[in-house]
Structure 1
Amino acid sequence: MMVGALAAFFVLFVPMGLAGWHLSRNKVLFFSGALFISLAIAVHLTPYFPSISRLLVPLPSSPPLLSPISCLSSLHDVVWESQDPPSWSWSRSNPALSCGFQKLGRSDASDLLNGSWILVAGDSQARLLALSVLSLILDPAAMDAVRPDLFKRHSDYHISVPENGADLDFIWAPYASNLTETLRRIEMNERYPDVLVMGNGLWHMLHVTIASEYGAALRDVRRWATANGRSRHMFWLGMPTLVTEKLNTEEKRMKMNQTTWEVYEREVSSSGLLRSFGGPFLLLDVGLLSRGCGSQCTVDGMHYDEAVYEAALHIMLNALLIESHQRI
């Protein structure tokens, strides 16, 4: 170490001293030269003095994050803090606390989605998630103008957000075959969304009621989504927990019960659609979130308070942060 320090002394100080003698004729140049010399000395000598090196390296201000896989698996560690109005937060215990999950504000969410194409395809649950996205990134006045068009019955919707250059498309796709057709069109046009959210099942449960057929259709969705793979981030919007006694028709109460819901959920798992089963889609578990919020969070037994879809949205945004190695 001493030999290295001595060598550094001769290499630095002799040439710098000669330069300093010439620069001393001009005070401004001399000050600039002296500052440069001091910085150069510090950079070259710091490795030879470990105690100085430790002082110059900032200590971490928070515990290190867990691995991305651990954090992704903990995204749904949500607690409901009140019911009137419904409010939620992430658990304050590990691993959720160590992962640093956070609710993003309008500015941070706009930055994260800057220039992105967000495609949401599915049934009314997917439309409610699209509403939650726009409610976060648009100001209230713009949102008031958007809401009537977004909720035109059984219709598609498109909006460009000039503030951050993002595009959002909602595709009405109540059956799994509609999702497959959406993926085919994406492949045909060779324009791939940055964020793809898909999900349905309630219509099939009510109008077809053959769970195995639903599962077979989901396997087609999986094949096309895997082939499509150029969409960077894919999410599956799970079905909400059904409150049978609140459903508004006798047909719904008969067909859309807890037993049928569980059978359809098993078809989702066995289809291999979800990432946890080897598929391309990360689950946004609306079933879990709606169950946590409780039956008082739904009027009609299937569409829940906006807090449920807000929670699903922030889970998605935090997943995007994790997968893109960012922190707000």
Structure 2
Amino acid sequence: MLGAVQIGVLAACIVLFVPMGMAGWHLSRNKMLFFSGALFITLAVGVHLMPYFPSLSSIVSTFSSVVVVENRDSCISFLHDMDWKNDSMLGELSMNSSSSKQSWTWSQSSHVLSCEFQKLGRTHVLDLLNGSWIVVSGDSEARLFVLSLLGLMLGTTESIENDLFKRHSNYETLVEENGAKVDFIWAPFPINLTDILKKFEKEHKYPDVLVMGSGLWHMLHFTNASNYGELLGSIRKSVVSLLPFSPEFGIDGPVAGSVSIQSPHMFWLGMPLLINSMLNTEAKKEKMTEKMCDAYESELYRSRLLRRSGGPLVLLDIRSLSLGCGSHCTEDGMHYDVLIYDAAVHIMLNALLIESHQRI
């Protein structure tokens, strides 16, 4: 919003430089002084009367707010614009070997460079997430995401891997250096996520950062895209109940039943690119086909759960990241190298910087 100081500076510039410009056109001294005085009085009266004309003030403030929101949202939409390269130790002949090393950077296009995305170091991550409660809910993909996040926060994952990867279990830890609490909640099916959201609402306890994702287990055990879409709709309703405003109706105030005034930063962890020929069971190869994956992804966008389709959650697009890294970044066609989840974590962290209007 433009403040009184900015308006005053603008008025002063007009009063100072416009008469000087007119003097350059060889106007008489009296005419220039008359115009300068009239201009000063007009601007002074206008500045003092502006508060009494709310329509004018709202136009100025609305324009300023729109510019800020558009810049923020446009940068979030560019977060997945990445370039992937293979730094092979043995040259092109080893492109598919285990000695190949992938790396990623953000695209060098002008619109991405203007957003100034950064790979954050441990110190900056600890500062950004200082005292935060971070909840990640989902299946094994979510576990891998937590592993990358904690690896960045702790500097090592050796002490946590055994507990984190206990089959079908939850996990929680406290990062002593910055007081951040990280919880992983095992939630393989969409209905599990809805239950978690309802529990937050019932207990009036809300995480600062919430990352959710589900789909692989539903695809394998139910193989029903339309049912998946219906369950995503239920998740959306529960998510909206946690927000202090309604994205559906554009209301900037509390909605009925809303308790949380400061809404959590919320993300959806997308499903990876599935490589059918590499899947490790016949059931997976039969049910988790490319056609079924496309159908599930269509339901995700149709559900209006994601920010890009009018919903509240920012997508962490694991599918596009795994596609960029390639088939040599996975051994079973479903779970990818840690590099993929490191990239997703940095996307989330940069989104948090954008949404909180911070810079590192």
Aligned partner of 1:275: which letter? Answer: R
User: Are residue 85 (structure 1) and residue 107 (structure 2) matched?
Assistant: no
User: Are residue 164 (structure 1) and residue 178 (structure 2) matched?
Assistant: yes
Q: Which runs of 5+ in 2 are unaligned?
A: 1-15, 18-69, 88-99, 244-259
Aligned partner of 1:163: which letter? Answer: E
Equivalent residue runs for 1:58-207 within 5 Å:
67-82=71-86, 84-140=100-156, 143-207=157-221
Displacement of 1:191 in angstroms is: 0.9
Q: Structure 1 CA distance, aligned partners of 2:82 and 2:281?
A: 32
Return the match for 1:235 from 267, 287, 296: 267
Give the match's secondary structure for 2:205: coil
Aligned partner of 1:148: which letter? Answer: N
Aligned to 2:306: 274
What does the per-residue CA deviation read over 1:57-99, in whole Å, with 9 as the maximum and x for residues that have no partner? xxxxxxxxx8111111111101102262121010111211110
Give the match's secondary structure for 2:76: helix
Return the match for 1:312 from 338, 344, 360: 344
Displacement of 1:257 in angstroms is: 1.1
Higher Cα Rg, which structure: 1
TM-score (norm 2): 0.72
Return the match for 1:300 from 332, 339, 342: 332
Q: Structure 1 CA distance, aligned partners of 2:349 and 2:200?
A: 23
Q: Structure 2 CA distance, aligned partners of 1:174 and 1:120?
A: 12
TM-score (norm 1): 0.79
Give the match's secondary structure for 2:159: helix
What does the per-residue CA deviation read over 1:249-280, in whole Å, with 9 as the maximum and x for residues that have no partner? 11111111111000000010111110111111
Give the match's secondary structure for 1:144: coil
Displacement of 1:212 in angstroms is: 0.7
Please give the root-mean-square deviation of Cα atoms over the aligned residues, in Å. Answer: 1.8
Aligned to 1:55: none
Give the match's secondary structure for 2:114: helix
Displaced runs of 4+ in structure 1, greater than 2 A? none
What does the per-residue CA deviation read over 1:218-276, in whole Å, with 9 as the maximum and x for residues that have no partner? 00000000101243200000000000010001111111111100000001011111011
State the identity as a percent: 57
Return the match for 1:252 from 261, 265, 284: 284
Count residues in correspondence. Answer: 266
Aligned partner of 2:182: which letter? Answer: L
Return the match for 2:320 from 260, 264, 288: 288
